[in-house]
Chains A and B, each alone.
Chain A
Amino acid sequence: MRIEGDAALSSPREAVFAALLDPQALQRSLPGCKELSAQEDGYFARFVIGVAAVRGEYEGSIRVRRAQAPTHYDFELQMEGPSGFLEARVETELAEQGSGTRMHYSADAEMGGMLASMGQRVAGGVATMLVRQFCEAIDREAKAH
């Protein structure tokens, strides 16, 4: 599954980038994220997410592949839980847009288990919603920075 899009953020680019590097701000912004702690190359993370009838707890790693201030923040996500697994390679690119920021994101995601068997039909819609929630939240965090 590939997800790609743009989000307009009202905060300046440097502030958005700083929020992305702040583990607490990041955890508050990631929908369903219950735990985020630093580990080598990135973070250990735990999520509770519901997709269609499949609600589950997932845990795994977020490995930062590229953090190039203030334009690029790319990472790999590997999450696993009783309802299945989710893996994604996410690339973001930040550009100035007026006094705010335009975030371009793209992700290749793969899922398995019940999450895929019963949730795939709506996964695209759920992912888009989660990304929108994340962008709104990180924008708020950036303003507070």
Chain B
Amino acid sequence: MADAAIGMPQRRLEGGEKVLGRMHYVADVQLAGALHARLVTSPYPRARIERVDAEAALRVPGVLAVHTAQDIGSLQLLADKEVFFAGEAVAVVVAEDRQAAEDGAARVTVRYQRLPAILDPRAALQPDALVARPRDSLSDRADAGAHGDTGGAGRAVGGPNVCGQTAFSRGNLDEGMRLADVIVENSYRIAAAYQGYLEPHGTVAAPTDGGGVTVYTTTQGQFSVRRAVASELGLPEQRVRVVGMQIGGGFGAKFVKLEPLVARLALLYDRPVRMVLDRGQDFLLSTPGQMAEIEVKIGARQDGTLTALWARVLLNAGAAADDTVGIAGFLLAGTYKVPHMDVQGFEVLTNTTPTGAYRAPGAPQAYFALESAMDQLARRLSMDPIELRLRSAVSQGDPQPHGRPWPAIGLVECLETARSHPFWRERKKGDDEGYGVAAGGWPGGTEPAAAACRINGDGSLTLQVGSNDITGTNTTFAAIAAQVFGLRPDEVRVVGSDTDTAPYSGAAGGSKTTITVGAAVLEAAQDARAQLLEAAAGALEASAEDLDVAEGRVFVKGAPTRAVAIADIAAQSATFGGRLPPLHGRGRTAVRRASPGFAVHVARVKVDRGTGRVRPIGYLAVQDVGRALNPAMVEGQIRGGVAQSIGRALFEAMRHDAQGQLTSASFLDYAMPRAASVPDIQVALVEVPSEQGPFGAKGVGEPPAVPGAAAVANAIEDAVGARVTELPMHPEAVLRAIPGA
């Protein structure tokens, strides 16, 4: 099969519509007679709800009702009797229009009995700590799909607030430290980070005949939403239709949020109901990436061979049942070959903003610590930082922390590519400029998926998938089918349909859509192709094995003039009295093994010694992508990941004050990277094929968001000798760390 489409840069199918502003998002869904719903949120981080007084709200013209968990259930959103973080929803106002809903919400008076809150994760870890929230107040969340497969071995430890733990060990740590000529040790603090998507959360729901409901929403996983809505409303999944709208960015935050509540209201009022959060509420109710405290101690021989690794991870889950620490521990323990190792991690509940998945959950935190420490080790050993990493980097067959061997991974190849790249080899350092290297990886996730490939009566192709396209995956699916049929990708139509009609697909998260749904698409296209060849065999008087397809024709291999147009065959399958069954390919996959992806980033920065301000002035991102099915999109993913890394490195922090109030609930207070903060990014792709993904592809979404912060930190030390161990690396932190400043 010649490469017609795979490996060629393709424009995003829906890119033009987006650029022209023609794309419809959930806030654009206008249904006649829709009611508007607005949340009332708690100003206290921990309190008992004594009374919700709706009287004044109900006097606002247009306000229909004020509901609480007491009368409609908590629906994974409304607090029931107690609030556990400032910003938690305690009531919802339903009104005829948005203004009335807002005015009504402003007039709801809630009487609280304030209760002591626990805010500090280290205090929350103690066995006798104040309980942040009772276990039975936690609902299961549906974003597990974003988490990678790490198989962390937990170690039972008490503590009423511990909601996740992990432990990996190997050899004898004391022995490993004794064997070391050099030991570096440091502790790192990483701020919680908001996903910063353009489009806030929003949902519109409408009742359907027969007691069902249709839910239009901005989500990464419409089938996750369907499951949650059906379960909360006590409906069979077949009665819940979820329409995953175009998404204005998710980055892990958009799984299930408003949908069960809005769907419940739609059924209650038998009218469409819409709720679109404003940015302030979105900040309060989002699930940012976890704040982390990580201690790392690494020992090595003079020649750079690692002898021992010790690490302790503490993640602040906020008021949510998060369990991301397994991934952080796995990556800390699994990236380098080290004979003696002891890595433990805990995640604790506190009365702060609930956390969740943010692009590669746990990984940016883990690698900021690990790769900062590796850089310090290289300096102590006077070794090239890439050489040091190459000495111990894991490759295929080396044991993962849980003992099973690493599959085909490209960490070593990425390091080698970075080492020989002109950006690194010909580095030029001006005054107060420096270069920093860091590696990072992502274990990857899996989930079953199905897809269909139809050959229409005119010979054109339609793919049907159920995944929500957050990153241009539909364009890649078109390329996969085009490849199978020898077409151009723009000749393939991809239909991402709703949960009533689409084949099942997992949520778009965990860097798994291309390797799971893509694999189903490949199988469906091959199935349709086989049906086509079988049908053509008779007409061409040849066996199907001797036939090939390209440019809209089926032909005999070696005799291309013996051919028949796909359209001529397909017509027979889609017409009155036709003689062929419809050409309808199906693909079903349950990929069981993940395809981990690794990346190596090199940052070049300039530091202002007077102010501590750091300016990235160059960047190289090397990544093993298995096979770049659409290099344009892969590079786009990588550039976006780098921008987010720079944000977490230098600007972004979800902060709470001493009373537990989120003090960064607007883009005035929460600093995102801007175009001017992101330098020119050079991208180098490494292709170590995956054993699972279509054409050898690996997930590419998460790895590029992982190593950046450490690369910037290492570049800062290279520039001005300042080792900054805290994210974000604000100018004052950098200034404090500059020796003699």
Contacts and interface: CB of A to CB of B under 8 A. Distances in A.
A127 B336 CA distance: 53
A85 to B, nearest CB: 5
B661 A118 contact: no
A112 B44 contact: yes
B664 A117 contact: yes
B284 interface: yes
Given A85-B43, A112-B43, A113-B43, A121 B663 contact: yes
A32 interface: no
Interface residues of B, number: 22
Contacts of B657: 116, 120
Interface in B653-673: 657, 659, 661-666, 668-669
B316 interface: no
Contacts, number: 56
B255 interface: no
Interface in B262-288: 280, 283-284
A53 B659 CA distance: 21
Contact of A118 (B41, B43, B108, B669): B669
A82 B106 contact: yes
Contact of B661 (A53, A83, A111): A111
B668 A117 contact: no
B414 interface: no
Given A84-B43, A112-B44, A112-B661, A118 B86 contact: no
B661 A117 contact: yes
B98 interface: no
A83 B86 CA distance: 13
A64 interface: no
A133 to B, nearest CB: 24
B661 A120 contact: yes
A67 interface: no
A110 B669 CA distance: 19
Interface in A87-132: 110-118, 120-121
B707 interface: no
B87 interface: yes
Given A84-B43, A85-B43, A113 B666 contact: no
Contacts of A83: 106
Contact of B107 (A52, A82, A117, A118): A82
A114 B280 contact: yes
Contacts of A84: 43
A112 B86 contact: yes
B594 interface: no
A106 to B, nearest CB: 18
B86 A114 contact: no
Given A82-B106, A111-B661, A117 B283 contact: yes
A20 B186 CA distance: 56
A123 to B, nearest CB: 9
Given A52-B668, A85-B43, A117 B105 contact: no
A21 B663 CA distance: 36
B43 A121 contact: no
Interface in B96-120: 105-108
Contact of B666 (A53, A85, A110, A112): A53
Contacts of B87: 117
A114 B665 CA distance: 8
Given A84-B43, A112-B86, A114-B280, A121 B105 contact: no
Contact of B41 (A53, A85, A113, A121): A113
A36 B663 CA distance: 30
Contacts of B283: 117
Interface centre among B87, B283, B663 (most CB of A within 10 A): B663
B614 to A, nearest CB: 22
A116 B668 contact: no
B659 A117 contact: no
Contacts of B86: 112-113, 116-117
Contacts of B107: 82
Contact of A116 (B105, B106, B663): B663
Given A52-B668, A85-B43, A117-B665, A112 B659 contact: yes
B662 to A, nearest CB: 5
Nearest to A54: B280
Nearest to B662: A117
Interface in B3-48: 41, 43-44
Nearest to A113: B43
A114 B664 CA distance: 10
Interface centre among A52, A115, A118 (most CB of B within 10 A): A118
Contacts of A115: 43
Given A82-B105, A113-B43, A114-B280, A121 B661 contact: no
A124 B152 CA distance: 46
A113 B665 CA distance: 10
Contacts of B662: 116-117
A115 B280 CA distance: 11
Interface centre among A113, A114, A117, A118 (most CB of B within 10 A): A117
Nearest to B284: A117
A117 B280 contact: yes
Contacts of B106: 82-83
Contacts of B666: 53, 117-118
B663 to A, nearest CB: 4
A113 B668 CA distance: 16
Nearest to A118: B666
Interface in A53-86: 53, 82-85
Nearest to A110: B659
A53 B666 CA distance: 10
A111 B663 CA distance: 10
A3 to B, nearest CB: 15
Contact of B280 (A82, A110, A118): A118
Nearest to A112: B43
Nearest to A57: B106
A118 B668 contact: yes
Contacts of B668: 52-53, 118, 121
Interface centre among B283, B664, B666, B668 (most CB of A within 10 A): B666
A110 B45 CA distance: 13
A81 to B, nearest CB: 8
A111 B105 CA distance: 19
Contacts of B44: 112
Contacts of B664: 117
Nearest to A123: B663
B261 to A, nearest CB: 20
Given A82-B106, A115-B43, A116-B659, 16 more contacts: A52-B668, A53-B666, A53-B668, A82-B105, A82-B108, A85-B43, A111-B661, A113-B43, A113-B86, A113-B661, A116-B86, A117-B86, A117-B284, A118-B665, A118-B668, A121-B668
Interface of A: 52-53, 82-85, 110-118, 120-121
28 contacts: A52-B668, A53-B666, A82-B108, A84-B43, A112-B43, A112-B44, A113-B86, A113-B661, A114-B665, A115-B43, A116-B657, A116-B663, A117-B87, A117-B280, A117-B283, A117-B284, A117-B662, A117-B663, A117-B664, A117-B665, A118-B665, A118-B666, A118-B668, A118-B669, A120-B657, A120-B669, A121-B668, A121-B669
The 10 closest A-B pairs by CB, nearest first: A113-B43, A117-B665, A82-B106, A112-B43, A116-B661, A120-B663, A118-B666, A84-B43, A117-B662, A112-B661
